[in-house]
Amino acid sequence: MRFPFRTRPHPQVSTPTPSHPRDQFTVFAQQCLAIPEILDRVFYFLDHQTISTAMCVCKEWRAMNQHRAYRQLEWDCGWQKAYIEKRFKKLSSTGRLVWRYATPDDNNDTDENGRIDDHQVYWTKTINSWSSNNTVSNSKNNNNSSRSMFSMVLREMELDGFYNLDAFQRGNIPFPPTVTSIKLGGNILCIFDVSRILDVCPLLETLHLEKHVWLTYHGSWVPMEIPLLRDRLPLRSLVLRFSHLSQNWIHSVLNSAPHLQELMLIDLIQIEGREWDTVRLFQHLGSLSRSLRSFHFSIQSTFPSDEELEQMVMISPEARHRTLWSYHLTPTVIQILAEQQTVLTTLDILWPEFPKCRRNGWRLDREGGDDHFYSSQPLHRLLCSTPSLRHLRTLKAPYIIENMDIHRRTTMTQDEPSLRDAHREQWTLFQPGVWMCRDLETLHLQVHGHGPYPSDVSTRTRVLYGYISTVCPRLVELNLVSTVMCTTDPNTPTGTYFTADLSSGLCLLSRLKFLEHLSVTIGGRGKYNPANLNWLCASGRTAEFRKQRRVIVDGWKEELQNEQQLEAERISALRGSSDEGGGSDGDGGSDGGGGSQLLIGFGSGDDKQLMERLQDLGLLQDVIKSVLEMDMDGYDCLPYLRLLSCGETLARSPKDEVRFRTRQTVMAQLREKGWWR
């Protein structure tokens, strides 16, 4: 079927008047779709993936709109050489480059070290191509110059982990002049001349320079002189983390970037003699003729007062996107968020990379000797009892699984015969609840397990997966980061890590019908069965693998009997606590066992139905139901999933990721047995 679209409309060409009404409509359609402003409006609401699909309707449509789409290329040094070579060939038409570099966890892993060396070679080629690209673009006469690798189409760059590459250590990365977005992160130890970046990239709208906080950082910024800045910068988003900054430099950027909408100054390093004057900074922001849509300011090892926090929040009173540290969630800030008239759509709660955990929160222990504890409960209560968060779409935060365990099942273990005292202790520390934000589309969690006993890890992960898939059924992107060791007690360290075993409950995420991007750091070794994980891609849903999963499920008879016994003990303990405590005085619900105080979102008419769906939360029986459901004929399992990461590498297609993880696990087992070196 062909559509009557003109490929190259020209306003001076006269169109003959058609004699038939249908022909008149055809000419009218041609003229409307030839107007760039109309097409801009149509494509404004579409993402790049949809545009790439929609413009292939016909040749005319593709010719008119191919400049609106660009290819995104992901590159990770953890991938194999053949995969890297295949991706490298596509750099010439890449519009967005996501590149991750990291060293192997095991220094004896010769296979992975070989990939690191290959990655270094390709990175050198890329740097040389960028240099050639800049030379060609800055040359006055480039008609006879050879075509550069990127063909002047690269617009967005996201680089992470390049801490030992020469180009970064020298601070002279040749960024292409076509770039509009630069995001750098990882363990980078070098000096960035930001004035040079802004000069080389005149179209730059987004600049994010973030640094992991566990490495010593000796200045990442060259002080920029104000005269070097152009009068008008197109900058719209500026995010700087763990950096040395001059306050005058920030003021000059604010004056030179009239379109700046987002300013994030996170965990800045304060040098003696160059202290920040927050009052002057806030006054300068208030004197601007525009208001920022999103703002954050924090200094390392400094804990602001309630007055300073209120001033920071009120810099952008109508912000839909809030970025805060966990210790910023004071009663004053929570009240402001609860009473905010503008609909809050994004909540980003920052946390240290390696905090020292306490039973009900975290303790900051910095190099400067600070010891500041902040609880997990303010964020938990905010999510469970604030009606204004009902429209939240994005949540990034650290979270303790015990706050999701509405039936108190993570403390039930066979190794401990008497659990009543442990239950009472945990009930005083945690008050599980159900989130109000049930229409979340993006969820990033750093998962902690702070229970009183190192309970079965599978129970914790089943609670996590079951809670997320039931409370947030509309998720599009899910990223779960595990904390292998939470030192809440030196004698009984606890932790939560994700395994590929079917009993861990990862298959509970198959209920997320809209999921497109899944990232879960799966670790643990042992007896590997491909059927545990390959249900994530179409090749693992054959009759053969379904049968294998059914055999695994049928082998859980003993575990199910133990589970029933633990359930009886749990209900008995809950009833005993209810009798002694005089019943439940919680905010709105119990689990049917009595005495379980819960935080359930107020004003939600579906609480009863939701609690029924959560009745088996954490049980192995819930996993069995999910396995049988997703292996039914005609069941469409994760129909939109297109990006998957089961480790610390970048996400890629489910088929490629499952194949890589299968090979990686098998090779690890062969090395353990001495069959492969």
Write down the pLDDT at residue 157. Answer: 87
Name the token pair of 102.
């990291």
Q: Sorting pLDDT into bands at 50, 70 and 90, what band is 650?
A: confident
Place of tokens 């049930």: 438
Name the token pair of 474.
């509309």
10-19, 170-179, 260-269, 560-569: least confidently modelled range: 10-19
How far, in Å, CA of 382 to CA of 46, rounded?
33
DSSP output for 465-504: HHHHHHH-TT-SEEEEEEEEEE-SSTTS-EEE-B---GGG
pLDDT surpassing 80 at residue 479? yes
Across 104-133, average pLDDT: 55
DSSP character at residue 453: S
Write down the pLDDT at residue 226. Answer: 41
CA angle, 671 then 676 then 677, to 5°:
85
Alpha carbon separation from 649 to 160, 345, 461, 475, 578 (Å, rounded): 11, 28, 21, 21, 47
Write down the pLDDT at residue 8. Answer: 37
Across 488-513, average pLDDT: 79
Q: Which residues is 185 bridged to in the sheet?
A: 160
Write down the pLDDT at residue 414. Answer: 62
Write down the pLDDT at residue 71. Answer: 74
Hey, what amino acid is at 70? Y
CA angle, 99 then 325 then 506, to 5°:
60
Kindly report, residue by residue over 254-270, the tens digit of the pLDDT. 888 888 999 999 988 87
Long-range contacts of 536-543 (CB under 8 A, 24+ apart): 536/638, 536/641, 536/644, 536/654, 536/657, 536/658, 537/644, 537/653, 537/654, 537/655, 537/657, 537/658, 538/654, 538/655, 539/655, 539/658, 540/658, 541/631, 541/637
Kindly report, residue by residue over 176-221, the tens digit of the pLDDT. 888 899 888 776 555 666 767 777 788 899 998 876 543 333 333 3
- Among residues 224, 223, 221, 226, the alpha carbon closest in space to that of 209 is found at 221
What are the residue boundaries of the structural domains of the chain, listed by start? 21-68, 652-677
How far, in Å, CA of 677 to CA of 672, rounded?
9
pLDDT surpassing 80 at residue 568? yes
DSSP-derived 3-state class of residue 549: helix
DSSP output for 372-386: EEEESHHHHHHHHH-
Q: Sorting pLDDT into bands at 50, 70 and 90, what band is 584?
A: very low
Kindly report, residue by residue over 353-396, the tens digit of the pLDDT. 656 777 778 776 554 445 567 788 889 989 988 887 888 999 99
Percentage of the residues of the chain whose pLDDT score is greater than 70: 63
Radius of gyration of the chain (CA): 28
Across 608-634, average pLDDT: 91
Q: Sorting pLDDT into bands at 50, 70 and 90, what band is 22?
A: very low
Bigger pLDDT: 287 vs 122: 287
Percentage of the residues of the chain whose pLDDT score is greater than 90: 21
- Among residues 107, 104, 47, 109, the alpha carbon closest in space to that of 76 is found at 104
How far, in Å, CA of 424 to CA of 402, rounded?
14
What integer best gives the mean pLDDT of the chain?
74
CB 193 within 8 A of CB 173: no
Q: Sorting pLDDT into bands at 50, 70 and 90, what band is 522?
A: confident
The model's pTM is 0.81
DSSP character at residue 44: H
Q: Sorting pLDDT into bands at 50, 70 and 90, what band is 6?
A: very low
